Amino acid sequence: MNVVQAVGRSTLGLLRTAGSVAIFAGRGVSATFSAPWFGGQFLRQTVAIGYLSLPVVGLTAVFTGAALALNIYTGGGRFNAEQIMPQIVALGITRELGPVLAALMLAGRVSAAIAAEIGAMRATEQIDALQTLSTDPFRYLVAPRLLAAVLTLPLLTAVADIIGISGGFLVATSTLNFSGPLYVQNTWNFLTSWDITSGLIKASVFGFIVALMGAYHGYNASGGARGVGRATTHAVVSAAILIFAADYILTSLFSGK
């Protein structure tokens, strides 16, 4: 009986949280598409989320592309198929690793920062102050972050795609004796526009998840400094899990399987 109760309680808790996140997301999206808009906040968030994430996303992409090239070269060698390495690297980066790794980097950097900032604002009554100053916190805090993340993560992913493929190129030409022009030509001829577009669509969805988790956990933070710390952890962990889950669902939808 106790086990049944525990399972029931956990299920209800999960459903309550899912409902709460869905309502929060709905309010955030609604605030994004209705006036008043806070352009200054949006620009500030675009710089913080997009521009300032470039180094970490770029470094992650270059090392991942290089490592991927080595692994595929080694694995392909077992079937005498080393020469398809450029194509597989390009496909892996654009469809999967570019958007997922960029999103995971943002989950660590941006989700945490959003949760900490909004959580600290909650703890110091700044969110209450916004309301007393006739300003909807969803419009001022949540909407600009959601919009900035949804728009900038695809751009970051495009950069990650280029740098990741370049990482594979560097390893291939410097240590695996591939011809540079041939590598580029093989990659270019193989990739379709959908390979790139599907990755960018994924990135947009991941951007929404990253900002949503940061804002949701920060907005609902309670218990002072400890609560802010807890919100930050929850934001990063939940964003990472949801990114992987969304990745599978989107890949399944895109492949029709």
Partner 1 sequence: MSEPSTPTPMLELRGVMKRFGDKIVLDGVDIPVAKGRSLVIIGGSGQGKSVTLKIAIGLMAPDAGQVLVDGKDVTRLPQSERAAHNAQFGMLFQGAALFDSLTIWENVAFRLINADGVPRKLARERAVEALTRVGLAASVADLYPIELSGGMQKRAGLARAVVAAPQIIFFDEPTTGLDPINADVINDLIVEQVKRLGCTAVSITHDMASARKIGDEIAMLHKGKIVWRGPASQIDHSNNPYVDQFVNGRADGPIKVEL
Q: Distance between alpha carbon 116 and the CA centroid of its chain, in Å?
A: 18
Residue bearing tokens 């400890």: 226
- The reply to whether 35 sits near partner 1 by the rule CB under 8 A is no
Choose among 158, 155, 152, 162: nearest CA to 65. Answer: 162
Task: Please identify, using beta-carbon distances, which residue of 25 and 246 lies nearer to partner 1.
Answer: 25
Q: How far is CA 241 from the centre of its chain?
A: 11
Nearest residue to 148 (alpha-carbon basis) of 59, 39, 60: 39
Q: Which stretch binds partner 1 (CB under 8 A): 75-83, 95-103, 120-128, 180-188?
A: 120-128
CB of 56 to partner 1, least distance (A): 22
Which of 8, 19, 36, 75 contacts partner 1 by CB under 8 A?
36
Report the site for partner 1 in 183-212 (rule: CB under 8 A).
none
Written as six digits, the tokens of 196 are: 């790139």
Q: In the chain, where does DSSP find H-type helix?
A: 2-32, 39-49, 54-77, 85-92, 98-106, 112-123, 126-132, 137, 143-175, 180-190, 193-219, 224-255
- HSE-CB at 227 with a 13 A cutoff on CA atoms is 15
Say what the alpha-carbon torsion angle 84, 86, 88, 92 is, to the nearest 10 degrees: 180
Length of the chain: 257
**CB nearer partner 1, residue 41 or residue 197:** 41
Q: Which of residues 123-142 bind partner 1 (CB under 8 A)?
A: 124-126, 128-129, 131-136, 140
Q: Which stretch binds partner 1 (CB under 8 A): 95-103, 121-129, 186-194, 199-207?
A: 121-129
| Part of the chain binding partner 1 (CB under 8 A), chosen from 65-73, 119-127, 143-151, 210-218 | 119-127
Q: Determine, following the binding rule CB under 8 A, whether residue 224 of this chain makes contact with partner 1.
A: no
Distance CA 187, CA 49 (A): 30
Point out which span in 7-15, 100-108, 122-130, 210-218 binds partner 1 (CB under 8 A).
122-130
First-to-last alpha carbon distance for the chain, in angstroms, is: 40
The nearest distance, CB 33 to partner 1, in angstroms, is: 15
For partner 1, the closer of residues 48 and 68 by Cβ is 48
Decide: is 38 part of the binding site for partner 1 (CB under 8 A).
yes
Tell the smallest beta-carbon distance from residue 144 to partner 1 (Å). 12
Residues that bind partner 1 (CB under 8 A): 36, 38, 120-121, 124-126, 128-129, 131-136, 140
